[in-house]
Amino acid sequence: MKTALKYRILSIAILSVFNSIYSQDVSQSAKILEHLKNPSGDHILVVSHRGDWRYAPENSLQAVQRCIDLGVDIVELDFRLTKDGHLVAMHDETVNRTTNGTGKVSEFSLQEIKKLRLKNACGVRHSRQQVPTLEEVMKLVKGKVMVNLDKTESRWVREAYEVLKKTGTIDQAIFKGNDTFEVMKEKYGALMDSIIYMPKLWPKNKKVRAYREAYESTINPFYYETLFDSEKAETFAMIQDLRRDGDGFLAIALWDDLCAGRTDEVALLEGPEKAWGWLIEKGATGVMTDRPKELMEYLKSKALRNP
Amino acid sequence: MNFKILLVLVPLLVFQVSCQNGVKTVPASKELDSSEPKRKVKVSIEALIDNLTDSKNKEVIVVAHRGDWRNAPENSLQAIDNCIKMGVDMVEIDVRETRDGKLILMHDETIDRTTTGTGKVNDLTWDYLQTLQLRDGIGHETPHKIPTLTEALEQCKGKILVNLDKSYDIFGQCYQVIQNTGTANQVLIKGAIPYRQVKREFGQYLDKVHFMPIIRANNSNSQTVVDEYLEHLKPVAFEFTVPQDTFQIVEYFDDIRAKGSSVWVNSLWPHHNSGHDDEKAAIDPSVYDWFIENDVDIIQTDRPKLLLAYLRAHNLHN
């Protein structure tokens, strides 16, 4: 073999080794984080509301696993604090609707709430799923998908942060909330610089522009959850500002008054272009959905999901 | 340049790549897609009825509980339509009567959980009920409306078999709608009562529409109840509740089918099937083997997609 050829093979071999090591190190969740930091209309992030609650009980590990299997980017879940200080996944203040027990989450100890079993959607009983802790959720998603923490806003950010630190998943959690930056800063101080925070832009907030400005000039968020009951809403007009500034616009396709009626249900009944397609055309770089499977299929068909 | 280094590096590279392949999981979406019904064979209602009335063939009938409640509001026209498109054989729906005598689809005694209104069905009028919207599985309003039994049966006509739950006490009213919509041959009414009682209470309908007795395997006289039905009515099927499969009646399932009645067992909850339920099957579909091994030929499920995929893979469904 000629020496020159040997060198070439050698250099290709070394390069390949580095490449393979590098690509192993970049986890799926790190790739998702990159997309979150660099919002783009060419790659739409999919956020699944309460896990895939059509497949498994809402806010259950099975519903989260299903999201991982579907290839969604972010799982939106709700967390509340038990009386002995554990964050557990539960939407309502009480366990009545979603478990076989009754009472407020805040009146259960972790051990007590673990004895309950979750119900499926429509109140269908006899799932074997338990109420998961934030720690269990973060261990399950580690390196895989991101989690959007709902209900923790302005209450349990500190408790949640401790769990993220312990599980090494600070980069995988997106906090969100409605409070002004001043309020959040007052409550959490320097912690606001250590977490990923996505403020919500509400159409009913009369000072929504000043609200955003305060965030822009301080923590400068990657993304805003942007809600508008109609195209006349101030928040709708703000979309172009978001996109101009390179910020992500997370559209919420769940219910009429969150997305000017361009909901998941409309996507199914009247075709995806009328709902998801419209939101993307208006600048959405991410969509929260109750139909993760169908949305993923639509985005793939439109080449809006890079591998 | 030492060529030996290359000899070390190349296998290392191969090892790296193969490691990567090793940890690379099958793209989950593909795995999920394979569980989708691939064939959209249009099955005629005649074939469905033939299958229902033939207790001896291998085809297993799939019944979807409350319609496709995962993807549409339970007991909605959309939930029924989804079942038809999925290739489900029979849809189970719940019937209740309004104060002014209209039959509607509703599971609970009240409309609180599944609609935007409140109150008991039998205290409310159809005028009011038709102004409401149905809620989805997590309680949010949808564009879908409460269907009447007439609308539901018209939608099912010629397309899918129907099981009317909560129908026994309003047998006569249900039959009226069944007759008006011309769906008698594709509808099943059921009740957990012995033959003599149904004969006395609703005997006039028994040769006009399918009636399916519900039998609880843990009742000591379940065998006698079954034998009486086989002798006098030979119902199209029996629905059995089997908390544990040590009950003797389970061993009798093949006899019942040989005598001309199908055997229906729910895969819904553990106490229906001695712990071989849909939730277990979602983790391991071979849980459904229990139904086949015990000669069950009608299964009511909360996971129609999963069950259809299982049965098709075992050549037990078109």
Q: Does B39 touch chain A (CB under 8 A)?
A: no
Residue B258 pLDDT > 60? yes
Give A128-186 as a DSSP string: -PPPPBHHHHHHHHTTT-EEEEES-TTTSHHHHHHHHHHHT-GGGEEEEESS-HHHHHH
Handedness of CA B161, B167, B171, B174 (dihedral sign): negative
Residue A16 pLDDT > 60? no
Beta carbons of B13 and A7 less than 8 Å apart: no
Q: Which residue do the tokens 């934030």 mark? A: A134
Return the higher-pLDDT residue of B41 and B224. B224
Instruction: Specify the pairing of strand B103-105 against strand B90-97.
Output: antiparallel
The helix/strand/coil state of B134 is strand
- Tens of pLDDT, residue by residue over A59-87, are 999 999 999 999 999 999 999 999 999 99
Return the higher-pLDDT residue of B176 and A2. B176
B257: Cα separation from own chain's centroid? 20
Contact A304, A44 (CB under 8 A): yes
- CA B1/CA B11 separation, integer angstroms: 18
Q: Count A/B contacts: CB-CB distance under 8 Å.
A: 92
Residue-level pLDDT at A55: 97
Mean pLDDT of A199-203: 97
Return the higher-pLDDT residue of B114 and A12. B114
Contact B121, B148 (CB under 8 A): no
Residue B31 pLDDT > 80? no
pTM value is 0.87
Residue B220 pLDDT > 50? yes
Return the higher-pLDDT residue of A239 and B19. A239
What's the burial of A182, exposed, middle or buried (CB within 10 Å: 0-12/13-18/19+)?
Answer: exposed
Residue-level pLDDT at B34: 41
Q: Which residues contact A21 (CB under 8 A, 6 or more apart)?
A: B16
Residue B27 pLDDT > 60? no
Q: Does A245 touch chain B (CB under 8 A)?
A: no
Nearest CA to B282 out of A127, A98, A59 is that of A127
Q: Which amino acid makes up residue B243?
A: P
B213: Cα separation from own chain's centroid? 16
- Tens of pLDDT, residue by residue over A271-282, are 999 999 999 999
Beta carbons of A128 and B31 less than 8 Å apart: no
Residue A21 pLDDT > 60? no
| Cα of A70 to nearest chain B Cα, Å | 5
- Tens of pLDDT, residue by residue over A174-198, are 999 999 999 999 999 999 999 999 9
Q: Does B20 touch chain A (CB under 8 A)?
A: yes
Long-range Cβ contacts of B12-18 (<8 Å, 24+ apart): B12/A17, B13/A13, B13/A16, B13/A17, B13/A20, B16/A16, B16/A17, B16/A20, B16/A21, B17/A16, B17/A20
Nearest CA to A54 out of A264, A292, A253 is that of A292
> How large a percentage of chain A has pLDDT more than 90?
89
Beta bridge partner(s), residue A251:
A226, A287
pLDDT tier, A109 (very low <50, low <70, confident <90, very high otherwise)? very high
Beta carbons of A121 and B114 less than 8 Å apart: no
Beta carbons of A290 and B269 less than 8 Å apart: no
